[in-house]
Chains A and B, each alone.
Chain A
Amino acid sequence: MVKLERINLEKKGLTKFFSPNEGRILELLWKNRKMTSPDIQFVCNDLSLACVSGTLDRLVKSGFVNRKLDETEKRVRYIYSPSGDRKNVGNKISTKILESLVDTFGESTLDSIGKISKKGR
Chain B
Amino acid sequence: MNGLECYISCLIESSLLLPIIIMIGFISIFLFRFIKKRNFESLLLSQTLITGVITISLIAMSCTMFNWLWIYLGIILIGSLMIFIIKNLLDNEIDENIINSISFVYEFEKEFNVPIQIIDSQRIKAFHYRKRIYLSIGLLERLEKEEIRAVIAHEIYHLKYSPNKIVSSLLAISSLTFRRYNDEKSADKYAVKITGVNNLINALKKLHIKNYEKRISRLSS
Which residues on A are within 8 Å of B, measured CB to CB?
36-38, 48-50, 52-54, 56-57, 60, 67, 69, 71, 74-78
- Given contacts A76-B141, A78-B137, whether A69 and B123 have CB atoms under 8 Å apart is no
Q: When the two chains form their complex, are residues A77 and B103 in contact, meaning their CB atoms are under 8 A apart? A: no
Residue on A with the closest CB to B104? A76
Tell me which of A36, A52, A69, A74 has the highest count of chain B C-beta atoms within 10 A of its own C-beta: A69
A-B CB contacts (within 8 Å), total count: 46
Q: When the two chains form their complex, are residues A57 and B122 in contact, meaning their CB atoms are under 8 A apart? A: yes
Residue on A with the closest CB to B207? A49
Distance between Cα atoms of A37 and B140 in the complex (Å): 12
Distance between Cα atoms of A71 and B141 in the complex (Å): 10
B25: interface (CB < 8 Å): no
Beyond A57-B123, A69-B102, list 9 extra A-B contacts (CB 8 Å). Answer: A36-B141, A38-B141, A38-B142, A54-B122, A57-B122, A60-B122, A69-B99, A71-B103, A76-B140
Number of interface residues of B (CB under 8 A): 16
Distance between Cα atoms of A81 and B208 in the complex (Å): 26
Distance between Cα atoms of A106 and B208 in the complex (Å): 52
In the complex, how many angstroms separate the beta carbon of B146 from the nearest chain A beta carbon? 12
Q: What A residues does B121 contact at CB under 8 A?
A: 53, 57
- Given contacts A49-B208, A69-B99, A69-B137, whether A74 and B122 have CB atoms under 8 Å apart is no
- Given contacts A53-B124, A57-B121, whether A78 and B141 have CB atoms under 8 Å apart is yes
Q: When the two chains form their complex, are residues A53 and B138 in contact, meaning their CB atoms are under 8 A apart? A: yes
B122's contact among A37, A48, A71, by CB below 8 Å, is which?
A37
6 smallest CB-CB distances across A and B, nearest first, come from A53-B122, A56-B122, A53-B123, A76-B104, A77-B141, A76-B140
